């Protein structure tokens, strides 16, 4: 459904999503789309939708599925096959990785940029672009940003695909892009 709506939107078209009462099934599909594109929480999405159409009321089963989807949209970091941290990405358009407290994700490994100035201590940035496209940008890191074991050039960027493994500097922490999220890989050799 997402791909169909995106194709119509990109070509300047429109899509009508409907069900019997226009309150539960169609509202759930629309909520999924809005959550995925805008990275809004379920609560924020339903508030927005109800402002447009008062009848919006997904049933409890559909709400549970939307809640699970909301939980999937995050970053999970792992080391030695153990999950260390989870960061929700629902309301974020970018995420800064680096050594200092001004960064969204603190990378504590000694090979990560550690200058005392905020911009120098930023190692990499993950941006969400249109249609849920994730772009990883190296911020002139000294010890590199790696995608699938290959270095990203300094100040370089790449679109991440599902299954891509990301590492920073010489750290053994790994991040894997899955549908709408980063997740620890199952094989951490």
Pair (88, 151) in one structural domain: yes
Pair (56, 115) in one structural domain: no
pLDDT of residue 38: 77
Pair (106, 145) in one structural domain: yes
Looking at the predicted structure, is the pLDDT value of residue 99 above 90? no
Pair (86, 41) in one structural domain: no
Distance separating alpha carbons of residues 146 and 10, to the nearest angstrom: 32
28: domain CATH number? 3.90.190.10
pLDDT of residue 189: 32
DSSP states along 16-60 = ----SSSSSHHHHHHHHHHHHHH---HHHHHHHHHHH-TT----H
Domain end, chosen from 49, 72, 95, is at: 72
Looking at the predicted structure, is the pLDDT value of residue 152 above 70? yes
Pair (14, 67) in one structural domain: yes
Count Cβ neighbours within 10 Å for each residue of 6-45 and write b for 16 or more, e otherwise: beeeeeeeeeeeeeeeebbbbbbbbbbbbbbbebbbbeeb
pLDDT tens figures, 49-71: 999 999 999 999 999 888 877 76
Question: For all residues of the chain together, what is the average pLDDT?
Answer: 79
User: Region 147-151: what's the mean pLDDT?
Assistant: 93
User: Region 95-110: what's the mean pLDDT?
Assistant: 80
pLDDT of residue 131: 59
14 three-class SS: coil
Looking at the predicted structure, is the pLDDT value of residue 3 above 60? yes
189 occurs within a structural domain: no
**Chain CA centroid to CA 39, Å:** 8
pLDDT tens figures, 9-61: 889 999 998 888 888 999 999 998 888 777 777 888 899 999 999 999 999 99
Domain end, chosen from 42, 72, 102, is at: 72
User: Region 105-133: what's the mean pLDDT?
Assistant: 72
Domain encompassing residue 10: 2-72
């Amino acid at each position: 459904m997402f791909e169909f709506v995106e194709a119509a939107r990109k070509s300047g078209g429109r899509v009508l999503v409907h069900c019997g009462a226009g309150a539960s099934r169609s509202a759930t599909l629309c909520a999924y789309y809005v959550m995925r594109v805008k990275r809004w929480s379920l609560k924020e999405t339903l508030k927005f939708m109800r402002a447009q159409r008062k009848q919006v009321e997904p049933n409890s089963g559909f709400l549970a599925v939307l809640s699970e989807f909301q939980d999937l949209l995050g970053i999970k970091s792992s080391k030695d096959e153990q999950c260390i941290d989870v960061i929700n990405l629902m309301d974020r358009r970018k995420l800064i990785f680096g050594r200092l407290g001004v960064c969204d994700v603190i990378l504590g490994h000694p090979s990560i940029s550690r200058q005392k100035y905020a911009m120098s201590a930023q190692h990499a940035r993950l941006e969400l672009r249109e249609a849920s496209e994730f772009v990883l940008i190296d911020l002139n890191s000294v010890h590199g940003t790696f995608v699938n074991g290959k270095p990203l050039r300094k100040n370089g960027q790449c679109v991440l695909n599902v299954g891509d493994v990301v590492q920073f500097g010489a750290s053994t922490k790994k991040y894997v892009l899955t549908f709408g999220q980063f997740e620890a890989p199952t094989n951490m050799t």
